[in-house]
């Protein structure tokens, strides 16, 4: 069911309480998500975005409880990814000629997804759609996070419909930022940024600067996932500025995988060395094979230093280590430092390979890394403690 945000805007999306994975299996959604669609009723009626395809029928039924679908004058698709455009197929069966406002790239992607020649109206930054007492202004936001992404601003009500931007995979019946647990909200907003928007941080900063220069009053930010920012919406914009600016907390994260616990024992002794030398720094130890990969990325995002350890296997690294390294490389973190460690039996390439991957990922390498033969004895563990102490020097 929809709910009224104000006299002219109604939320008409879907809260997906069951969702545990998003983007295939690439993103864990521990707290579900929502697909937010918004209905604007002025002299003209506008629908902004839809929902994911499995909820199409439910969406159409709920929409019909709000309005005669034939009264919809315009559809705006801020972003063509299927979680927002998925109900278009069902919707367009009812109103096949209704114009769909989107970017040029959006029209191309929608054609690619649905193979339909709908009535696309391509818009650019600054284009305005007059809908009666209010106006919609379109703002292209390319690569936040797809080439087609745009924001839509509703003047008069001062609402920014930001699609994925400022969103969170967070299902809540409360729907507004001031009504939910702030810890949960920020955990999910940060996880979303870290796992999806990190590579586009430069574009985030440029877009925020561009929007600020337009001097548009913003009373509410309505994203397409999660809760709506109505209480001090600028707070999430300010957070995005922080997150996009080589964000780091005073934290070292040790990510390891281990075949017979030798690399685990190394990880723990490295942590001991770190904490013996620095009582302030937060140290987190994570087994990459047993932990959620997106939570690992959150901890990486928050860290000044990331240490990655793996046993050597088949002249390479363990598969969970390879997976984490691939994610880290793709996310293009900036301003982070790192080093490698691991135990080995004969060839022992893992430490060198991890170091090379971290280098390719833009990390400043603190040390060539440390490796220990077979099961580390007390002397070897002391070397790990010393390695930990050395690592703390990189915090300055």
Catalytic residues: 23, 79, 81, 83, 145, 164, 192, 225
- Reading the block at residue 307, the tokens are 């240490």
Peptide bond into 342 cis (omega under 30): no
Tell the smallest beta-carbon distance from residue 248 to ligand FEO (Å).
26
Q: Rounded to 10 degrees, what is the CA torsion of 331, 109, 11, 5?
A: 70
Closer of 145 and 336 to ligand FEO (Cβ):
145
Structure tokens at 127: 């284009």
Q: Read off the tokens for 68.
A: 């005669």
Size of the site for ligand FEO (CB under 6 A): 9
Q: Which CB, 164 or 357, lies closer to ligand FEO? A: 164
| CA quadruple 82, 85, 87, 91: dihedral sign | negative
Among positions 233-292, residues that touch ligand FEO (CB under 6 A) are: none
Nearer Cβ to ligand FEO (69/143): 143
- Smaller CB distance to ligand FEO: residue 145 or 385? 145
Residues 81-100 that bind ligand FEO (CB under 6 A): 81, 83-84
Give the shortest CB-6-to-ligand FEO separation in angstroms.
Answer: 24
Q: If you search the block for the tokens 């940024």, which residue do you land on? A: 193
221 pairs with which residues across the strands?
160, 229
Rounded to the nearest angstrom, the gap between the alpha carbon of residue 114 and the centroid of all alpha carbons in its chain is 25
Regarding 188 and contact with ligand FEO (CB under 6 A), the answer is no
- Which long-range CB contacts under 8 A does 156-159 form with residues at least 24 apart? 157/6, 157/8, 157/9, 157/219, 157/220, 158/216, 158/217, 158/218, 158/219, 158/220, 159/5, 159/9, 159/218, 159/219, 159/220, 159/221, 159/222
**Segment lying near ligand FEO (by CB under 6 A), choices 78-86, 209-217, 240-248, 305-313:** 78-86
CB of 7 or CB of 25, closer to ligand FEO: 25
The values of phi and psi at residue 188, to 5°, are: -75, -35
CB of 115 to ligand FEO, least distance (A): 20
The nearer residue to ligand FEO, 229 or 387, going by C-beta atoms, is 229
Given 13, 32, 74, 79, the residue binding ligand FEO (CB under 6 A): 79
Token representation of residue 178: 């001031």
Does position 225 bind ligand FEO by CB under 6 A? yes
| Candidate segments 61-69, 75-83, 170-178, 236-244, binder of ligand FEO by CB under 6 A | 75-83
Q: Which residue minimizes CB distance to ligand FEO?
A: 81
Smallest gap from residue 226 Cβ to ligand FEO (A): 10
Measure the CA–CA gap between 316 and 323, rounded to whole angstroms: 13
Cβ pair 65, 222 in contact under 8 A: no
Q: Could you say which of 140, 164, 268, 372 contacts ligand FEO (CB under 6 A)?
A: 164
Within positions 297 to 316, which residues make up the interface with ligand FEO, using CB under 6 A?
none
Terminal Cα-to-Cα distance of the chain (whole angstroms) = 53
User: 34 or 361, CB closer to ligand FEO?
Assistant: 34
Residue 142 Cβ, how far from ligand FEO at the closest point, in Å?
13
335 φ/ψ angles, rounded to the nearest 5 degrees: 75, 25
Angle of helix 319-331 versus helix 350-360 axis, rounded to 10: 20
To ligand FEO, the closest distance from the beta carbon of 141 in angstroms equals: 11
Q: Is residue 14 within the footprint of ligand FEO (CB under 6 A)?
A: no
Q: Element (H or E) spanning 162, and its range?
A: strand 159-163
Contact 199, 330 (CB under 8 A): yes
Least distance in angstroms from the C-beta of 96 to ligand FEO: 25
Residues 123-152: x where in contact with ligand FEO by CB under 6 A, - otherwise, as a string:
----------------------xx------
Chain positions contacting ligand FEO, by CB under 6 A: 79, 81, 83-84, 145-146, 164, 224-225
């Amino acid at each position: 069911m929809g709910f009224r945000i104000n006299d002219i805007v109604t939320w008409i999306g879907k809260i997906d309480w069951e969702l545990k994975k998003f983007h295939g299996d690439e993103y864990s959604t521990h707290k579900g998500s929502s697909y937010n669609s918004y209905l604007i009723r002025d002299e003209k009626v506008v629908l902004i975005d839809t929902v994911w395809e499995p909820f199409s029928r439910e969406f159409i039924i709920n929409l019909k409880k709000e309005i005669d679908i034939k009264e919809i004058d315009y559809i705006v698709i801020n972003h063509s990814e299927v979680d927002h455009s998925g109900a278009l197929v069902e919707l367009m069966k009812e109103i096949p000629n209704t114009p769909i406002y989107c970017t040029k790239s959006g029209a191309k992607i929608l054609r690619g997804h649905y193979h339909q020649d709908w009535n696309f109206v391509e818009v650019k930054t600054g284009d305005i759609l007059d809908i009666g007492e209010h106006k919609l202004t379109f703002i292209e936001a390319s690569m936040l996070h797809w080439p087609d992404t745009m924001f839509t601003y509703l003047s008069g009500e001062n609402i920014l419909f930001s699609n994925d931007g400022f969103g969170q995979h967070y299902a809540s019946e409360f729907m507004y930022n001031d009504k939910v647990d702030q810890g949960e909200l920020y955990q999910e907003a940060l996880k979303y940024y870290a796992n999806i928007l990190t590579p586009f941080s430069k574009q985030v900063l440029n877009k925020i600067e561009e929007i600020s220069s337009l001097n548009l009053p913003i009373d509410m930010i309505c994203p397409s996932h999660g809760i709506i920012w109505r209480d001090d919406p600028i707070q999430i914009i300010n957070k995005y500025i922080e997150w996009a600016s080589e964000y780091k907390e005073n934290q070292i994260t040790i990510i390891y995988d281990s075949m017979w616990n030798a690399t685990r024992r190394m990880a723990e002794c490295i942590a001991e060395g770190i904490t013996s030398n620095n009582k302030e720094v937060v140290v987190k130890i994570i087994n990459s094979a047993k932990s959620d990969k997106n939570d690992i990325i959150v901890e990486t995002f928050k860290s000044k230093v990331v240490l990655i350890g793996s046993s050597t296997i088949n002249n390479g690294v363990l598969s969970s280590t390879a997976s984490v390294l691939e994610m880290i490389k793709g996310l293009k973190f900036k301003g982070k430092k790192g080093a490698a460690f691991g135990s080995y039996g004969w060839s022992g390439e893992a430490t060198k390979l991890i170091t090379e991957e971290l280098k390719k990922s833009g990390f400043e390498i603190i040390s060539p890394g440390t490796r220990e033969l077979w099961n580390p004895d007390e002397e070897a563990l002391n070397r790990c403690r010393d390695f930990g102490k050395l690592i703390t020097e990189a915090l300055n």
